[in-house]
C-alpha cells in the first residue's frame, strides 16, 4: 500500500468515526491519526515490522489524548491494521515505520 493510499484510508477511517459534519472534531482521533501517519499496516510479521500493543499506543499518546482501548482498536481495524505475533511471541498490531 502506498503512502498516499494509507493516508487516504486513514482519513476515511477517521471520517467514519465522526457522527456527522456538524459534530465537533474528535481531537483524540486527530491525535491518533497524526501518530499513525508514521506507520503503514502490513499483513504479516517480517523485516522492518513492529508489533505494537494497544496499550503501547495509548501510553505513547497519554500526554495529549485520553484514549480507550476500544477507540484505538476500532480506528486501527477500520484503516486496515491487523493483529499478529512476532518471532518472540509478542502479540499486537502489525506496523511498519515509514519515512514521510
The Cα 24–Cα 63 span in angstroms is: 21
Global pTM reads: 0.72
pLDDT for 76 equals: 94
Give, rounded to a whole angstrom, the gap between the first and last alpha carbons of the chain. Answer: 14
| Among 14, 28, 19, CA closest to 78 | 14
Going 20 to 36 to 52 to 61, the CA torsion angle's sign is negative
**Residue ranges in the chain modelled with pLDDT below 50:** none
Amino acid at each position: 500500500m502506498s503512502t498516499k493510499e494509507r493516508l487516504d484510508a486513514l482519513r476515511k477511517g477517521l471520517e467514519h468515526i465522526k457522527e456527522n459534519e456538524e459534530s465537533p472534531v474528535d481531537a483524540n482521533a486527530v491525535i491518533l491519526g497524526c501518530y499513525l501517519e508514521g506507520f503503514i499496516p502490513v499483513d504479516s510479521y517480517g523485516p522492518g515490522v513492529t508489533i505494537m500493543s494497544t496499550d503501547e499506543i495509548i501510553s505513547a499518546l497519554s500526554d495529549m489524548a485520553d484514549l480507550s482501548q476500544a477507540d484505538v482498536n476500532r480506528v486501527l481495524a477500520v484503516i486496515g491494521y491487523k493483529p499478529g505475533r512476532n518471532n518472540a511471541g509478542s502479540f499486537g498490531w502489525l506496523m511498519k515505520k515509514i519515512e514521510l
